[in-house]
Amino acid sequence: MKNQITHSFFLLFVMILSGSTFAESNSIYSLKVKNFDGSVRELAQYRGKVTLIVNTASQCGFTPQLKSLQTLQEEYGSQGFQILAFPSNDFKQDAGDSQKFASDNYKVTFPLMEKGPVTGNQIQPVFAFLTKSYPAIPQSVLWNFEKFLVDKNGIVRARYRSLTDPTEKSVRKEIEKLLAEKTP
């Protein structure tokens, strides 16, 4: 109970800092993140797009999923789909320049954000939001390459653990369903 109250105050604090309203707090669009170069990216720019947010690592057994993520970006990008990758060293499997690694080895064209924590007390606000916003799996990130599928309105609609390859039929089906939905 104490952790829930602390987390609620944390989210309220993040909302106040970002200037969001209560209505926006149900959407990821109230948040800002840092790009790999340290510049700020407002997630509101993805309003109207289907977004897959993934925590990545360069030295993990799941790192080849970067190729699958790039495949999805190429196949669905022109239809309003965007992948956002968040490198993290929480599990001691990301060292060095994640952006260069992903670009050189997997030819990724989707944006990589600044490396940061996806678990623990220093968790990035975006991952605090994501892990609390999908009630079917109300836990912190367990490993690298967990994926959160966000609809055009900024609501988390699906969450996939590391073992689920992003190009699996079930993931594609959900992406296609969300792309076909009309926005209010």
Helix 98-106 to helix 65-76 angle (10° resolution) is: 70
CATH code, residues 2-180: 3.40.30.10
Q: pLDDT tens track of the chain, all 184 residues?
A: 444 444 444 444 444 344 433 334 568 999 999 999 999 999 999 999 999 999 999 999 999 999 999 999 999 999 999 999 999 999 999 877 888 888 889 999 999 999 999 999 999 999 999 999 877 776 889 999 999 999 999 999 999 999 999 999 999 999 999 999 987 7
Residue among 14, 50, 60, 72 flagged as catalytic? 60
Give residue limits of the domains in the chain. Answer: 2-180
Sign of CA dihedral 171, 72, 150, 57: positive
Check if 47 is active-site. no
pTM of the predicted protein model: 0.84
